[in-house]
Amino acid sequence: MGFDRYVLSGGKRLRCGFTTGSCAAAAAKAAAIALLAGEAPARVEIGTPEGVRLDLPVESCVLGQGFARCAVRKDAGDDIDATDGALVCAEVRLGGEEIVVDGGEGVGRVTRAGLEQPVGAAAINRVPRLMIAHEVRGALEERGCRAGAAVVISVPGGAEIAARTYNPRLGIEGGISILGTTGIVEPMSEAALVDTIRTELKVLRAAGNGPVLVTPGSYGENFSRDALGLRASRAVLCSNFVGETLDCAAALGFEGVLLVGHLGKFVKLAGGIFQTHSRVADARMEILAAHAALAGADSALTGELLGCATTDAAADLLDAAGLLSPVMRSVTERAEKQVKRRAGELSAELVIYTNARGILGQSGGAAEMLKRLRETEAAK
């Protein structure tokens, strides 16, 4: 399954896959053909918005009174994707003048404003809807049929799959989303991750103004709940994309952002590093050593810091030398300047912590931003 297209990521050659949107379009085309021809093709070819042609196998076909239903299995290539292997089905019935696309079992429904589709609609995004309609229309017209059709996309087990995706956070209930702006899945796609962050921010912004909590991952979200008293109902996980998340929040007009992150991630902000993945830039120890030197650390200690494998180990060394507080104060001040420079007119504050030591530093306005977050959460 799949097709012969690869990308390089992290020094590895990774195989691309195809989106749920491509699967839905292919399944719908196969069902339209089956409805008129009396049997489904073994494979169908579809176009993608990126210009790549996909030749996909059709796994099953059911012919009934006035309808045909076919399925195509999702192949995410080498990407880590909860929907990999899911069977995407399309049922086609002739009728009307237009091609009308809706979702059935296992396809989520939108329950919150701010997403691409309106509240109540099936979570089938605009580009997949266009792909489905185009392929069905083409299949019908090639066989001399000018009628419209009703297309229902379903995904067996979609509700269970959705629990492993961002859909519950976005207010999409009952199943997965049918997605894909290019039709192609690129493994480890940074653009796809940033797009997910942007979507989550849009949903929160549509729910009302007020600050938003941004953390790199679930550890930060848990710390915000357990140590800062937040429900995290207005939280966005930014992964390594701190800078892009600030940019998106600023563009959407949020009242403010509170960044909460572990020292291992957020020490990089003091060096102006806003994509915090280690393969992009790993200057954790260099930054800590520089600030330790400013606080009076001798060459032996700075050398030991440079040799640390983790920031927790570095914090232990600084604590033993009586320098943890001044170093963290210096790091936090520098990180605050860098964050505010990147945020522009957006009000942005930060909290830096470790699991063992709790809060190690916070910017000047963090306490007030935390208060506003609590008030906003309580009002919902």
Check residue 6 and give its pLDDT: 77
161: tokens are: 């799959």
Query: For the chain, which domains are there?
Result: 6-185 (3.30.2110.10), 190-379 (no CATH)
Check residue 192 and give its pLDDT: 82
Check residue 362 and give its pLDDT: 98
Using one digit for the tens of pLDDT, what is the confidence trace for 244-296?
A: 999 999 999 999 999 999 999 999 999 999 999 887 889 999 999 999 999 99
CA angle 165-103-52, nearest 5°? 75
Can you list the residues of the chain whose pLDDT is less than 50?
Answer: 1-2
Contact 33, 41 (CB under 8 A): yes
Helix (DSSP H) and strand (DSSP E) numbers for the chain: 13, 20
Kindly state the DSSP code that residue 217 receives in the 8-state scheme.
Answer: S
Cβ atoms within 10 Å, residue 319: 13
Kindly state the DSSP code that residue 275 receives in the 8-state scheme.
Answer: B
136: tokens are: 């069905």
Kindly state the DSSP code that residue 118 receives in the 8-state scheme.
Answer: P
Check residue 2 and give its pLDDT: 46
Check residue 10 and give its pLDDT: 60
Fill in the amino acid letter for 231. R
HSE, CB side, 13 Å, CA atoms: give it for residue 277: 9
372: closest CA among 201, 234, 236, 206? Answer: 234
Q: Which runs of consecutive H residues, i.e. helices, occur in 115-262?
A: 126-142, 158-162, 167-170, 190-206, 218-226, 242-252
Give the predicted TM-score (pTM) of the model.
Answer: 0.80
Tokens 């899945």, residue located: 185
Q: Name residue 110's beta-bridge partners.
A: 172
Check residue 9 and give its pLDDT: 65
Residues 6+ apart with CB under 8 A from 213: 221, 224, 230, 232, 234, 235, 236, 257, 258, 260, 373
Check residue 3 and give its pLDDT: 61
